[in-house]
Structure 1
Amino acid sequence: MEQLERTRTNAANDSKGQAFGLSGNLFLYPIIGVVVALSVSMISFSIIGLGLVASILVAAPFLALPTIYVFTLRHNKPRGYDRDWLHNITSSGFSFVKANQPVNPRYLGGLYE
């Protein structure tokens, strides 16, 4: 009987996979953005009666914002990076960075009381 050959592979729960160059389900955000942008542009062009350029300009944020979000805050970033970034921008909470820490009220000119 021959020996079985062992190869190292990732388990299914180790890797979330890739689609369109984006890991996991990140491709859904830009695709949903494309569908919404097309819908908004068609509605604004045909029903509301805006011009073609105006319709495209109205629909552009629906395509651009999810795409920018995915590529700047989610793709190839650690888990929770987008939430941490948003929390860091919106609050002045606790941080290990000394420049972001409030001054200790007991600290007076380099001497502790």
Structure 2
Amino acid sequence: MERTPTNAATDSHGHAFGLSGNLFIIPIVGLVASLSIAMVCFSLFGLGLLVSILIAMPFLVLPLLYVILLRHNKPKGYDRDWFENFTSEGFTFVKANQPLNPSIEGGKDE
């Protein structure tokens, strides 16, 4: 009898809207927040429709970009590592400016 490894129900995170696990919740919350903000801006504050949509757009786009670029099909903890790298080292190429051997600076042998 041949044994075939399968994913048990406890191992599988499931899929919804093409996103694995509970990742679909973040864009859904962003959608609800952006619709609410657009409605409040348009009806209560009397702003124009286009202005209300532009004010509410980041609440939809930013969570969607976060999920697509930093969470979907990425290893666990990728988003935290990316933010840590961005805030601590940034994109200044700190490692590239350091000498290979700290005891040898400017080519002097000690």
Q: Quickly name the TM-score band, shorter chain normalised.
A: 0.7 to 0.9
What residue in structure 2 maps to residue 92 of structure 1? 89
In 2, Cα distance between the equivalents of 1:70 and 1:112? 50
Identity fraction in percent: 64
Identify the residue that residue 46 of structure 1 maps to in structure 2: 43
Q: What SS does structure 1 have at the residue aligned with 2:23?
A: coil
TM-score by length of 2: 0.83
1:106 aligns with 2:103: yes
Structure 1 segments unaligned to the other structure (5+ residues): none
Task: Note if 1:67 corresponds to 2:64.
Answer: yes
Worse overlay, 30-39 or 14-23: 14-23
CA distance in 2, matches of 1:99, 1:82: 23
Letter in 2 for 1:64: V
Q: Kindly indicate whether residue 10 of structure 2 is the aligned counterpart of residue 13 of structure 1.
A: yes
Change (3 A) 1:42 1:99: same
TM-score scaled by length of structure 1: 0.81
Q: CA-atom RMSD, angstroms?
A: 2.4
Q: What do residues 77-106 of structure 1 show as CA deviations (whole Å, max 9, x unaligned)?
A: 01111111111111129xxxx637x33431
Determine which structure has more spread, i.e. the larger CA radius of gyration: 1
Q: Which runs of 5+ in 2 are unaligned?
A: none
Q: Distance in 1 between matches of 2:57 and 2:35?
A: 9
What's the offset of the Cα at 1:112? 5.4
